[in-house]
Every structure is written in structure tokens, then in C-alpha cells.
């Protein structure tokens, strides 16, 4: 394989960069990383994940290991969830908020051992999350080890994922529950295998050392090919998560958004023991009720409602689109938007301003797509 | 790769002239750059376009891009089949993926467009 020179523009490369280039991927800068946006076609890659399987390089994500006798309580004071409630080997979706209740990042927290947790952060936020966590756990007896630049993450997602990964690992995938994680060996390499993902399909995320990433990728690609597994870029990752109604930081979530507005109030454990950063503001926000709500929109028209497009209720500005695409699965334009609470009622007909015209858009339940179970 | 009998804009439209009718589309390079095309918005027949005026919009899953008229003239017809099958712009941009037919008003405008060699050089620059 041709060795590719590291990017010289200051952006970071995953250990799989040369593979992506050899596979003909179109590369983009994403959160400061050189990442594949598509290999062949977003639609083809999207359909492969819905119908068969896709292989993702997610090594740009941040892996923060928090360890110590009081790691659980320390994290409970830093995040909106209560990681002490996690059994060893389980995970939950979480957020880290600012003192004013705004979302700094959304996270997955895995409990690897009684006193050891893995916090996975978005690539562009990982340095900020790492710094904030270090500061917030400073008074504890726990320490943070930022493994982001040493850890590769490869995901296998789709209905065929279990059949592809199963024979390659000693982790029992049949008993590994959704939002669970286990240490084991994958293709001869020490790994953490989690049943998590961002596609709305069954699937697995495999954490390995950077040095093992290339071999793991090649073995998974080869083992999955007979089942129709293809490499999938960030383009289809976005359309898959949007159909599944999952928020993307920077679109649905940011520093000026509270979890309640995003429909993620259930994640915030206001009643947990001990104080946590943002508790006061979030308690107030919970009482006051959200100023705006995240909704799904089914757009009746042929244009795509994209991030930042205005939403109208007649002559009244009702809100703003956060994400939109042509749903490859449904064959219709879909979007997520923040609208006034009064406009967030299912079945409400709104309008999205798409360039110089308006398209009718119906408020519909999220997610747009859920897999048959 | 790049048809030698067409003329091109720097914005990646092509034009084919037959008599006084100009057929317009986007190049394979443009279609490849956009990725999967899911929507093409075209003007109604009768609209009169100036050279290099915006005549419509092409949307892919990831991006939206304006379309520019390579030559001035009255719109005779938009490719109605793109409403149902916009993906042919990706698969056959110089054939069934055509977008617009225009009644050419000034043939001399063709000289302001690129020939295949010049367009190829443009895309090679990246």
C-alpha cells in the first residue's frame, strides 16, 4: 500500500488515511481531521448499512479514560448523567454542560471496571471536553488519560454486522446487550467491543490501539465483503443518524442549547446525589419549560431544507432548520428544526423557506426511521 | 472523457448547439463533485435568460449548487424526467441528464465559453 504523507495544513489524520485514499474516498476536513466523506456514493453507502453492513473509521472521536477509586462520583459531578448507576460493562448516552446549562458536548460513557470509565466525545469537542473534565475531577482521587490520539475506533453497523464480527472475536456478541461493552480480542488484537452506534441499525464499535487499526480494517473489510459490507464515509453517517433522529453536535446541540430543548431532558438526572456542573441552571430550565423544541419535519416539496433555513408559520417566524436531507430510505426530504413550543405539535403544518420559495412541512414524530426488531 | 463537441462554462455547465437550439447540462466533473443528485430545479418555458444568469439549482445529498446559463435565450423546455429520476445527471450528464433547451439569441456568445481542452485544463487544476 502506498504511504500517504501526513497532511501539512495542521489537520490530523487517522491511522487509516492511506486506506481511505487507496479506496478512492473523497476526503474532507471534519473537526480538524482528514476524514472520508464518501467512497462511492452516499446513497449506496447508506443503503448498504440499512440492508447489509458498513465499515466506518471513527478514529477522530475522542477517547477519554477516567480512572480512580471515586471515578464514578467524579464523573457524576461533571456530567448530567449518573455514571455510578452503570453496571460494569454497560454504557449510557450523556452530556457535559456548562454552568449555564448549555451543552458542551454529547457523549457516550462506558463503565469498563468498577473504577474505570471510557468517555467518548465528538472529535471537534474532544480537547474542550478533556480540559473541562480534568478541571472538574481535579478535587477527586481520579485521573483522566486522554487516549484520543492513540486510540482508533472502527464501527461495523448494519443487519449483517453481528455475522461479520462474531467469528473474528472471542466476545460473545449474542449476549452483548445494546449499550454494553466488553474487553476481548478481535482478529488477534486486544480490543474493546461495544454494541453502540449512530446509524439506527444494530452494530458494534471496536476500539483498538492505533497500531492495530490498519490490520483490523483490512480484516473486517475482507471478512465482510461476502455479506455486502462496504466502507462508509461521513456523508452517509450523517444521513443515517438523521433518519434515526439522532442529534449532531453543532447542528441540534450547541453551547446555547439546553438538553430539554433538544428533547433530551430524560438524560439529565436532576435528582442524582451530589452537585453537578449546570445543575442550578438546568433545574431552572426544567421548571420554566423550553423556549423552543426540536421537531422532525416531513417536507412536502422537492427542495431540501438545510441547516439554517428559516421555518415559518404563516407570516410568523416559527424557527430554524438544524439538519436536513433527502431521506435515502424514505425517498422524501426530511429535516429537524427548532420551533416554538406551540408549533411543535404533531401534525402541525409549517413552511420551510428554501431559497426564494416556501415548502410545506409537517411536524412528524422522531425518529423518521426505526429498524424492525 | 470530456466531449469535444461541446462548449463549457467555468462553473461546469456544458452547452450543445444544434441549429438555433442550445441544450444545457452540467459536466461529469460537476456531477461527481456534487455526489448523488436528488433534486434539480429548472425554469418554466418562456423565461428569458441572460448569459451566465442563474437558471436553477441542483441539489445533492450533501450540497446545493446554482446553475448558470452558458448562453442567453428563451427557455424552450426543461428536462421533465429529472423530477422523477434526478440521478441520471450523475450517470449520464451529457445525455439523458440534460437540463434545459434554450433558443439561442446570440451565437457570438459561444466564443466566451471554453472548448473541451480548456475545460479539461480547468478541471485538472483541481
Residue A350: which H helix or E strand, with range? strand A349-354
Contact status of B83 with chain A (Cβ, < 8 Å):
yes
b/e map A242-274, b = 16+ CB within 10 Å: bbbbbbbbebbbeeebbbbbbbbbebbbeebee
Rounded percentage of chain A residues whose pLDDT exceeds 90: 95
CA distances from A178 to A75, A194, A242 (A): 22, 8, 20
Bridging pattern class, strands A316-326 and A310-313: antiparallel
Q: What class has domain A62-146? A: alpha beta
The CATH number of A12-56+150-243 is which of 3.90.1150.10, 3.30.1360.120, 3.30.420.10, 3.30.460.80?
A: 3.30.1360.120
**A364 in reach of chain B (CB within 8 A):** no
Per-residue pLDDT of chain B (126 residues), as tens digits, is: 799 999 999 999 999 999 999 999 999 999 999 999 999 999 999 999 999 999 999 999 988 999 999 999 999 999 999 999 999 999 999 999 999 999 999 999 999 999 999 999 999 875
Whether residue A255 has pLDDT greater than 80: yes
Tell whether the model's pLDDT for residue A41 goes beyond 60.
Answer: yes
Over its C-alpha atoms, chain B yields an Rg (Å, rounded) of 13
Listed by start position, the domains of chain B span 7-108
ipTM score over 0.95, yes or no: no
Nearest-CA distance from B102 to chain A in Å?
23
pLDDT tens digits, one per residue of A291-321: 999 999 999 977 899 999 999 999 999 999 9
Tell me the chain B residues in contact with residue A328 when contact means C-beta distances shorter than 8 Å.
61
3-state secondary structure of A338: strand
Statement: residue A4 has pLDDT above 50? no
Tens-place pLDDT, residues A164-218: 999 999 999 999 999 999 999 999 999 999 999 999 999 999 999 999 999 999 9
Q: How many residues does chain A have?
A: 373
Cα–Cα distance list, A144 to A96, A148, A188 (Å):
15, 12, 28
**In chain B, which among 18-57 make CB contacts under 8 A with chain A?**
35-36, 38-39, 41, 57
Could you give the residue range(s) of every CATH 3.30.1360.120 domain in chain A?
A: 12-56+150-243
Are A227 and A162 within 8 A, CB to CB?
no
- Residue A302, pLDDT score: 72
Pick from A85, A31, A63, A355: which is nearest to B58 by CA?
A355
pLDDT tens-digit readout, A124-152: 999 999 999 999 999 999 999 999 999 99
- Of A244, A43, A40, whose CA–CA distance to B62 is shortest? A43
Closest in A38, A302, A355 to B35, CB measured? A38
Q: What is the pLDDT of residue A8?
A: 56
- Mark yes or no for CB contact B39/A41 under 8 Å: no
Residues of each domain in chain A carrying CATH 3.30.70.1400: 62-146
Tell if the CB–CB gap between A302 and B83 is shorter than 8 Å.
yes
Which of B36, B41, B83 is nearest residue A43 as measured by Cβ atoms?
A: B36
Cβ pair B39:A304 closer than 8 A: yes
Mean pLDDT of A79-94: 98
Q: How high is the pLDDT of residue A360?
A: 97
In the predicted model, is pLDDT for residue A9 greater than 70?
no
Residues 6+ apart with CB under 8 A from A232: A39, A45, A46, A48, A49, A54, A55, A56, A157
pLDDT of residue A176: 98
pLDDT of residue A1: 35
How far apart, in whole angstroms, are the C-alpha atoms of residue A57 and residue A205? Answer: 10
Is A15 an interface residue toward B (CB < 8 Å)?
no
The CATH-assigned architecture of domain B7-108 is Beta Barrel (2.40)
Q: Is A263 helix (H, G, I), strand (E, B) or coil?
A: coil
- A41 and B57 within 8 Å at the Cβ level: the answer is no
Nearest chain A residue to B38, by CA: A326
Q: What is the pLDDT of residue B8?
A: 97
Model pTM?
0.93
Q: What is the average pLDDT score of chain A?
A: 96
Specify the 3-state DSSP secondary structure of A320.
Answer: strand
For chain A, where do the domains classified as CATH 2.40.30.110 start and end?
A: 292-373
Evaluate if residue A87 carries a pLDDT over 60: yes
Q: Are B61 and A302 inside 8 Å of each other by CB?
A: no
Contact A304 B62 (CB under 8 A): no
- The per-residue pLDDT for A7 is 55
CATH of domain A292-373: 2.40.30.110
Amino acid at each position: 500500500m502506498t504511504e500517504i504523507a501526513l497532511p501539512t495544513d495542521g489537520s490530523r489524520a487517522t491511522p487509516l488515511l492511506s486506506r481511505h485514499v487507496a479506496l478512492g474516498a473523497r476526503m474532507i476536513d471534519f473537526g480538524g481531521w482528514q476524514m472520508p466523506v464518501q467512497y462511492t456514493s452516499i446513497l449506496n453507502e447508506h443503503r448498504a448499512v440499512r440492508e447489509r453492513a458498513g465499515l466506518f473509521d471513527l478514529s477522530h472521536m475522542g477517547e477519554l479514560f477516567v480512572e480512580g477509586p471515586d471515578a464514578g462520583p467524579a464523573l457524576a459531578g461533571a456530567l448530567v448523567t449518573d455514571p455510578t448507576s452503570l453496571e460494569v460493562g454497560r454504557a449510557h448516552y450523556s452530556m457535559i454542560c456548562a454552568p449555564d446549562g448549555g451543552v458542551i458536548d454529547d457523549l457516550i460513557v462506558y463503565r469498563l471496571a468498577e473504577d474505570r470509565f471510557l468517555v467518548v466525545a465528538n472529535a471537534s469537542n474532544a480537547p474542550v471536553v478533556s480540559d473541562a473534565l480534568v478541571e472538574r475531577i481535579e478535587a477527586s482521587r481520579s485521573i483522566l488519560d486522554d487516549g484520543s490520539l492513540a486510540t482508533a475506533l472502527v464501527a461495523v453497523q448494519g443487519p449483517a454486522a453481528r455475522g461479520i464480527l462474531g467469528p473474528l472475536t472471542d466476545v460473545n456478541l449474542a449476549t452483548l446487550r445494546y449499550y454494553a461493552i466488553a474487553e476481548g480480542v478481535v482478529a488477534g488484537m486486544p480490543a474493546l467491543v461495544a454494541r453502540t452506534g449512530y446509524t439506527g441499525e444494530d452494530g458494534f464499535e471496536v476500539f483498538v490501539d492505533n497500531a492495530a487499526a490498519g490490520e483490523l480494517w483490512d480484516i473486517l473489510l475482507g471478512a465482510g465483503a461476502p455479506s455486502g459490507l462496504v466502507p462508509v464515509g461521513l456523508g452517509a453517517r450523517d444521513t443515517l443518524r438523521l433518519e434515526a433522529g439522532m442529534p449532531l453536535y453543532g447542528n441540534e446541540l450547541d453551547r446555547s442549547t439546553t438538553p430539554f430543548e433538544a428533547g433530551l431532558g430524560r438524560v439529565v438526572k436532576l435528582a442524582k446525589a451530589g452537585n453537578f456542573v449546570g445543575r442550578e441552571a438546568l433545574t431552572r430550565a426544567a421548571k420554566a419549560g423550553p423556549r423552543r423544541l426540536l421537531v422532525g419535519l416531513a417536507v412536502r416539496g422537492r427542495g431540501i431544507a438545510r441547516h439554517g433555513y428559516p421555518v415559518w408559520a404563516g407570516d410568523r417566524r416559527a424557527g430554524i432548520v438544524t439538519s436536513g436531507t433527502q431521506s435515502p430510505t424514505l425517498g422524501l426530504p426530511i429535516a429537524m428544526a427548532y420551533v416554538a413550543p406551540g408549533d411543535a405539535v404533531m401534525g402541525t403544518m409549517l413552511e420551510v423557506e428554501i431559497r426564494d420559495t416556501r415548502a410545506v412541512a409537517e411536524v412528524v414524530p422522531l425518529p423518521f426511521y426505526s429498524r424492525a426488531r | 472523457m470530456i466531449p469535444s463537441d461541446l462548449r463549457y462554462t467555468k462553473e461546469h455547465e456544458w452547452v450543445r448547439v444544434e441549429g438555433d437550439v442550445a441544450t444545457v447540462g452540467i459536466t461529469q466533473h460537476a456531477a461527481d463533485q456534487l455526489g448523488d443528485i436528488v433534486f434539480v430545479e429548472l425554469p418554466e418555458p418562456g423565461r428569458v435568460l441572460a448569459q451566465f444568469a442563474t437558471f436553477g439549482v441542483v441539489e445533492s445529498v450533501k450540497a446545493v449548487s446554482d446553475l448558470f446559463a452558458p448562453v442567453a435565450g428563451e427557455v424552450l423546455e426543461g428536462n421533465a424526467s429529472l423530477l422523477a429520476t434526478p440521478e441520471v445527471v450523475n450517470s449520464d450528464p451529457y445525455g439523458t441528464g440534460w437540463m434545459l433547451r434554450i433558443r439561442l439569441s446570440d451565437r457570438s456568445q459561444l466564443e466566451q465559453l471554453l472548448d473541451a481542452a480548456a475545460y479539461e485544463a480547468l478541471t485538472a487544476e483541481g
